[in-house]
């Protein structure tokens, strides 16, 4: 895995005194869509936050040839990792437009502009002047993804983008992810809906109790009934 864009080795993370991650190893190669699967509390979201430097952590994280193990979140973002939070973290009092331009920065991932965001999701243009807090859940999800893309990351980490969305919006999010990937942007995805995760990703990691318990292709996972029963199925 010398070609890895993101390489994580022995990543531990804590919330206060309780350890949530225990020695997580994972790699993401350029252009891949990689899914992180597992039940609630398995440590998937925390893995993303730990890579962003948003929780107390230790271990090795390398990105694009740079050691970001001890970097601050804004430096990690500037290095080219975009993050879409599970709780979306839109700025409710600011307008849709203002939310988008807050994400605007130069990055290694190309030149994604406001017009690109509006082209990907025309509804954002229609609601440009509205407070983001007044958007529907699906629109807010589109907004957060586009806001992160405005920073031109070469790797986007997305946490549960389809959670709580109506089926039509789930499909729209899935289309969006595939279009983002088609632009050459690498994606590390945390997703509860197995069907979507397996359909769009090239490789999957399954997590349980703060560790990686399975690594392989979606086909490998489909063939591994024991792993699915123990770590995924409810």
- Candidates 67, 70, 89, 223; binder of another protein (CB under 8 A) is 89
* Residues 84 and 161 sit within 8 Å (Cβ to Cβ): yes
Residues within window 32-71 making contact with another protein, judged by CB under 8 A: 52, 54
The separation between CA 200 and the C-alpha centre of its own chain, rounded to angstroms, equals 14
Nearest to another protein of 156, 206 (CB atom): 156
* Residues 188 and 155 sit within 8 Å (Cβ to Cβ): yes
The total of other beta-carbon atoms located within 10 Å of residue 56's CB is 14
- Report if residue 74 touches another protein, rule: CB under 8 A: yes
- Candidates 43, 59, 103, 109; binder of another protein (CB under 8 A) is 103
- Candidates 14, 25, 64, 98; binder of another protein (CB under 8 A) is 98
Nearest to another protein of 48, 177 (CB atom): 48
Nearest to another protein of 180, 204 (CB atom): 180
- Smallest distance from another protein to CB 68, Å: 13
- Report if residue 102 touches another protein, rule: CB under 8 A: yes
- Smallest distance from another protein to CB 54, Å: 6
- Candidates 9, 22, 105, 123; binder of another protein (CB under 8 A) is 105
- Report if residue 140 touches another protein, rule: CB under 8 A: no
Close Cβ partners of 197 (under 8 Å, ≥ 6 residues apart):
35, 37, 189, 191, 204, 218
Which H or E run contains 186?
strand 186-190
* Residues 134 and 90 sit within 8 Å (Cβ to Cβ): no
Q: Report how far residue 190's alpha carbon sits from residue 187's, in angstroms, rounded to the nearest whole number.
A: 10
Q: Which stretch binds another protein (CB under 8 A): 34-42, 57-65, 84-92, 113-121?
A: 84-92
DSSP SS3 for 190: strand
- Candidates 64, 101, 128, 198; binder of another protein (CB under 8 A) is 101
Which H or E run contains 192?
none
The total of other beta-carbon atoms located within 10 Å of residue 194's CB is 17
Q: Report how far residue 215's alpha carbon sits from residue 1's, in angstroms, rounded to the nearest whole number.
A: 13
Nearest to another protein of 52, 221 (CB atom): 52
Instruction: Give contact residues for another protein (rule: CB under 8 A).
Output: 52, 54, 72-74, 76-78, 83, 85, 89, 91-94, 98-99, 101-103, 105, 107, 147-148, 151
């Amino acid at each position: 895995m010398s070609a890895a864009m993101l390489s994580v080795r022995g990543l531990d993370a804590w919330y206060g005194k309780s350890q949530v991650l225990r020695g997580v190893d994972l790699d993401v190669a350029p252009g891949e869509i990689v899914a992180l699967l597992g039940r609630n509390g398995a440590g998937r979201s925390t893995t993303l936050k730990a890579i962003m430097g948003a929780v107390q952590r230790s271990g090795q994280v390398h990105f694009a040839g740079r050691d970001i193990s001890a970097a601050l979140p804004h430096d990690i973002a500037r290095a080219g990792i975009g993050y879409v939070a599970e709780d979306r973290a839109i700025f409710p009092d600011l307008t849709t437009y203002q939310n988008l331009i807050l994400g605007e920065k130069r990055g290694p991932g190309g030149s994604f502009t406001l017009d690109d965001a509006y082209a990907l999701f025309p509804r954002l243009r229609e609601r440009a002047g509205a407070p983001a807090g007044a958007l529907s859940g699906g629109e807010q999800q589109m907004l957060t993804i586009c806001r992160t893309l405005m920073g031109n990351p070469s790797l986007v980490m997305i946490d549960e983008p389809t959670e709580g969305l109506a089926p039509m919006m789930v499909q729209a999010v899935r289309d969006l992810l595939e279009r983002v990937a088609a632009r050459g942007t690498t994606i590390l995805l945390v997703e509860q809906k197995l069907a979507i995760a397996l359909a769009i990703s090239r490789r999957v990691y399954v997590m349980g109790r703060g560790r990686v318990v399975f690594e392989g292709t979606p086909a490998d996972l489909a063939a591994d009934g024991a792993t699915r029963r123990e770590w995924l199925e409810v």
